[in-house]
Amino acid sequence: MIFFGKIWCIVLTICLTSFVLWDEGFADENLVGMSLEELLGTKVSVASVHEESLQKVPAIVSQFSQDQLKKLGIYSVQEALELFTGFLVNRSLNGTRNVEIRGLVDSRNQKILFLLNETPYWLAATGDIPVDDIHIDLVERIEVIRGPGAVLYGTNASAGVIKVVTRNRQDSSLNLVTNQFGSWGVSAVHGAYGDEDDRSWLIHGSIERKDYEELEVRNSLTVDQSSGSFLENLSGTLDDNIERDTVYFNYQSGGLDVQAHWFRSEEHAVTNGTLISPNTFNRYAALLSSQYLWQEGDEQTKVFLDYNLFFSKTEVEDLFLIYGFDEDGSIEFASDGWKNFRIRTGVQDLRQISNEVSVLIGFETELRSTGDYLYRDQSNGAIIDSIGGGISTTPGYDSILLYGEQEAREDSLYLQLDWDMSHDFRTILGARLTKNEFTDAKLTPRLSFVWQLDQKSTLKLLQASGFNSPTFSQNSIIDSNGRARTEKVRAETNQTIDLQYQYQGQAWSLSLNGFYYKIDDVIQRRNGLVSNLDGFERDGLEAELSYRQSDFTFLANTSYLRQGYSVRDNDPAVNFTPRFLANLGGVWQLNSKASLGIRAQYIGPRYNARPYFDIASNLSFGWSEWLSFDVGFKGMMGLERVYPDVVSYRETTIRRIPRLVFLKVSYES
């Protein structure tokens, strides 16, 4: 069946491609590639306070545009992230998507900073980020930093930074996506821009109902009800259904920029890897941010204020069955989640001291809050204060808590000197001082050297620091006896060194990078408990290659982590990390209306997971100026993809064959 599935996908792709070629002949010879000046002028903003070219930016940065992602048949931010060098997105049984960068991963993504435009977007209680809750049709481009970015961004910018830049266009669009299992999604974007008043606004909304084949769960923990003991090496299935709704609004006028985002999502999961307790994992979030930018002469000042509400609720069947409590229940935040927020404000000033030297100084203060995280009986809505087995009310509270209501303030001051000695050599020296109520003050420095060897070649030597303040869940989590412990977790720090060579020619571009990092006081979850582990070191290599001509674009990237897929006592996560990752992609402009994109992905072996290789294709066809179609095939190799348990590092795995056929219809005006 798998063999015939592969043949069917390939034959259908060829037939559809032949149809569009027959419709309008071969590729238009008048199509031209980007000039060298245009290629060198490709701008990114994730590693600086203003846009810079990829060659000049003082960090290891990559980006993909909406047009590139669309032609390769990428329908979500999660898929887009796996196209970046050294990135991997893991699925966990608890419903989260764990993003891995250079082998660094956390059960709730606390080591990665997620930005919606300029604004951090994450859950204060756990550090979780909206990996797939920004709709792909809203995205103008995605930029990433591989490695720390703590001087500019502070907490969580340790393994890397992900920045989603939203669209800001005059056009409007309506998109419909469906697949062969009955999934469907509707996305609508509408915007306007007026030159006279220098104002623009954009509104976007989406509804998604995803229905896929069941996930197979192997080696999952379950329980023998007669003895109360845990059993292993059992299998089961889990429905792979997801509901997601989003709304986004942006308004700009002069130096004012206001944005708002809201989403809710629901999907099936299991509690603590136990198949006898399937659940529905719900997440809710709202982000409201504003900033104002003054620019006068060589001085630029920005003030900002943002509010982020973000919480989850898990509805569990047969909650605590092991203790004799077989009623349905929920794990949720008190006060309907309203106490789970972050409020951040600050000021940033960039001043040009001379033609060669600029100074950046900034101050931020942030208040983080979480409510009681507790258990509730779904039958009567009552808060659970006892579940038998010797587990009863948490001392000092009238219920059983995973962690109690808390607040924490974090203040930071940062300074950065940018010395462009000549057009050929640039030095950046900076540092950030951070004080969190949970930890001692931490100083995170940055030092960057950028040599412009010639018009096409650049050499970079970069030192950067990362810093993770413990989240509320990490500082206070239920122990093995069901009682809330108060042992404090120390802050995690990351020191990284990168050496990168970049070449950008008329058609070819190449990037070669070697990295080394050392992490101290590693915050790690094992067997449900969080603690600081001894530090460890890792190193590896990365390469990116692209080729462009008038009717064809090719890209390739690969990463090598020397310690990957090995057993190390002080670094349990590395055994769950592949040593090699690779991506290949190509887009053919078949004619003035149609393009064919093909991409391949390789994930090396890791704990309980064999190597994974897959091919996907996408045919885009513009029926008219306002109507277009995309047909995409995924899982064309028919191979099983295995997701090891990077939450608790246990024997649990999720397995699926991601074989899908997608159809997308787009209307633009």
Q: Long-range contacts for 260-264 (Cβ within 8 Å, ≥24 apart)? A: 260/286, 260/287, 260/288, 260/289, 261/116, 261/121, 261/134, 261/285, 261/286, 261/287, 262/286, 262/287, 263/130, 263/133
For the chain, helix (H) and strand (E) counts, in that order, are: 6, 42
Q: Residue 23: pLDDT above 50?
A: no
In the DSSP assignment, the letter for residue 370 is E
Q: Specify which residues 452 forms β-bridges with.
A: 458
The pLDDT value recorded for residue 396 is 54
When mean pLDDT is compared across 56-60, 73-77, 240-244, 539-543, the lowest value belongs to 240-244
**Residue 108 to residue 283: CA distance in whole angstroms:** 13
Split at pLDDT 50, 70, 90, the class of 397 is: low
3-state per-residue secondary structure call for 209-271: EEECCCEEEEEEEEECCCCCCEEEEEEEEECCEEEEEEEEEEEEECCEEEEEEEEEEEEEEEE
Condensed to tens digits (0 to 9), the pLDDT of residues 222-231 reads: 544 444 444 5
Q: Residue 249: pLDDT above 90?
A: yes
The pLDDT value recorded for residue 163 is 97
Condensed to tens digits (0 to 9), the pLDDT of residues 424-465 reads: 899 999 999 999 888 888 899 999 999 999 989 999 999 999
Architecture per CATH, 34-380+396-668: Beta Barrel (2.40)
Mean pLDDT, residues 648-660: 74
Mean pLDDT, residues 530-540: 87
Residues in the chain: 669
Q: Residue 25: pLDDT above 50?
A: no
Mean pLDDT, residues 538-565: 95
When mean pLDDT is compared across 136-150, 375-389, 635-649, the lowest value belongs to 375-389
The pLDDT value recorded for residue 3 is 44
Split at pLDDT 50, 70, 90, the class of 592 is: confident
Q: Residue 33: pLDDT above 80?
A: no
Closest CA to 28 of 550, 588, 592: 592
Q: Residue 537: pLDDT above 90?
A: yes
**Residue 532 to residue 474: CA distance in whole angstroms:** 10
Across 27-41, 514-528, 571-585, the highest mean pLDDT is recorded for 571-585
**Residue 598 to residue 73: CA distance in whole angstroms:** 8
Angle at 599 between CA 594 and CA 603, to 5 degrees: 165
Condensed to tens digits (0 to 9), the pLDDT of residues 488-532 reads: 788 889 999 999 999 998 899 999 999 999 999 888 776 667 778
Q: Residue 556: pLDDT above 50?
A: yes
**Where exactly are the structural domains of the chain?**
34-380+396-668
Condensed to tens digits (0 to 9), the pLDDT of residues 275-297 reads: 556 788 999 999 999 999 998 88
The pLDDT value recorded for residue 403 is 80
When mean pLDDT is compared across 378-387, 389-398, 431-440, the lowest value belongs to 389-398
Q: Residue 272: pLDDT above 70?
A: no
Q: Residue 309: pLDDT above 90?
A: yes
Buried b (16+ CB within 10 A) or exposed e, 7-34: eebeeebeebbeebeeeeeebeeeeebe
Closest CA to 597 of 13, 3, 185: 13
42/154: higher pLDDT:
154
Q: Residue 486: pLDDT above 70?
A: no
When mean pLDDT is compared across 149-163, 206-220, 298-312, the lowest value belongs to 206-220
Mean pLDDT value across the chain: 83
Q: Residue 213: pLDDT above 50?
A: yes
Q: Residue 582: pLDDT above 70?
A: yes
Q: Tell me the chain's radius of gyration from C-alpha atoms.
A: 25
Other C-beta atoms closer than 10 Å to the C-beta of 598 total 19
Split at pLDDT 50, 70, 90, the class of 330 is: confident
Those residues whose C-beta lies under 8 Å from the C-beta of residue 480, and which sit 6 or more positions away, are 527, 528, 529
Condensed to tens digits (0 to 9), the pLDDT of residues 114-167 reads: 999 999 999 999 899 999 899 998 999 999 999 999 899 998 999 999 999 998
Q: Residue 648: pLDDT above 90?
A: no
Mean pLDDT, residues 384-397: 58
Those residues whose C-beta lies under 8 Å from the C-beta of residue 581, and which sit 6 or more positions away, are 85, 86, 87, 88, 558, 559, 602, 603, 604
Split at pLDDT 50, 70, 90, the class of 261 is: very high
Q: Are 575 and 565 in contact (CB under 8 A)?
A: yes
Q: What are phi and psi of 319, to 5 degrees?
A: -60, 130
Burial of 354 (0-12, 13-18, 19+ CB in 10 A): exposed
Closest CA to 57 of 431, 464, 348, 540: 464
